[in-house]
Each structure stands twice: as structure tokens, then as C-alpha cells.
Amino acid sequence: MNTEPEIAATAARLVVEEGLEYGPAKKRAVKQLGLPARAALPDNDALEDAVREYIELFCADTQPAELAALRRLAFVWMERLAEFRPYLCGAVWHGTATRLSDIYLQLFCDDPKSAEIMLIDKGVDYEVRTVNGFNGQPVDALSVSSMSEALGEHIGVHLMIHDLDDVRGALKPDAKGRAPRGDAAAVRALLEANE
């Protein structure tokens, strides 16, 4: 019996209602459904499709405004970090974000410490952790909390630090032929299209 669609539907609910990332949502969905830990998991494209369906069914009245607010906040940070060639990625870029989603920006720096130094100079509190970058290699992520006036709450903004040379590989289309990330001009175009 193929349980992947059921796992995708349950994981989609967890992504939208609890703000979980895809990996943890899939694992928790398997547990909630009482399936064996080694059950075949849906791929991220299938889960993204399930998230879009869930949003259409249950959040169509609120999600567009929440997404626009997150994109506006991302754009503010992209302008602040313009010297580091920021690209927006993840749910906020792909249009599946809700108020529980964090913002993910990929920065492409000559010096990996330069973005951190700028945050220190501007008095911005941040936490450093290591995550896997888009090419599978570990990268530093600088996580800040930023107030969204439109949403009336703090949003996590995560700045993944990549080498400047990695920007070429970052622009290759994903499996669906879409741009996996967008620069400030692309984000501005999305905002203007929705107004």
C-alpha cells in the first residue's frame, strides 16, 4: 500500500498549521499515522503540492496577505544586505509561506565573516548555527528575529552564508523548471504583481 499521499497530506497540515520544515513534518506525519519509521516518504515536490492544496482549502482567505507581509519583510532585509548579493528562497519565495514560516535568505560573500561583522556593527542580535547549503555542503546560518508590523509578530530571518563563487550554481532551475531563489528585483516584481 502506497502511504506517501497520506503522509504528504498530514505533513502539509503540520507545515501550514505549525510552521514545521519539510523534513521534521514528514517524520512527525509518519508517527501520527502510526506507520513504520522506515515508511517511504514523499519527496519535497509532492509535499509542496500538498501544502499548496492545503492552503487553497483551508487558508485561502488569510495566506495571500501573510505571504505578502513576509515578502515585504524579506525585501527590507535584502535591501539592508544588498552588498552580500541576497537571494530569497524557501516557502516565502515559492509562495507557500504563512505567518508561521521563517524567511530564508542566501548571501553570497567575498568574505564569509563580512555579513556577521555588519550585523555586529548595526547592533543586531543573532545566533550562528551550521546548516546544509543548497549544494549539500555545511554553511553558517545567522538567525535573527525581526518584527513584522503587518503581522504584529516577530519572524525568524535566517541568513545562509555562501561563497561568492557559488552564485552561479544557485541560479540553475529546480526539478520543476522554476528559479529556486530570487534576487531583490525578482522579489520586488512579486510584490508589485500582488498589489
Q: What pLDDT is stored for residue 2 in this prediction? A: 86
Of 52, 31, 54, the residue nearest 41 (C-alpha)? 31
Of 137, 73, 81, 70, the residue nearest 106 (C-alpha)? 81
- Tens of pLDDT along the chain (195 residues) come to 789 999 999 999 999 999 999 999 999 999 999 999 999 999 999 999 999 999 999 999 999 999 999 999 999 999 999 999 999 999 999 999 999 999 999 999 989 899 999 999 999 999 999 988 887 889 999 999 999 999 999 999 999 999 888 887 777 887 788 888 999 999 999 999 987
| Domain assignments of the chain as residue spans, ordered by start | 4-58, 63-194
| Global confidence as pTM | 0.92
Q: What pLDDT is stored for residue 194 in this prediction? A: 81
CA-to-CA distance for 187 and 194, rounded, in angstroms?
11
Cβ atoms of 188 and 74 closer than 8 Å: no
Residue that the C-alpha cell 548579493 belongs to: 85
Q: Which CATH superfamily is domain 63-194 in?
A: Beta Polymerase, domain 2 (3.30.460.10)
Angle CA 115–119–123, to nearest 5: 170
Measured CA to CA in angstroms, residue 171 lies from 106, 155, 181, 190 at distances of 12, 26, 7, 18
Cβ atoms of 88 and 105 closer than 8 Å: yes
CA-to-CA distance for 127 and 147, rounded, in angstroms?
16
Burial degree of 44 (CB within 10 A; 0-12, 13-18, 19+): middle
Cβ atoms of 74 and 187 closer than 8 Å: yes
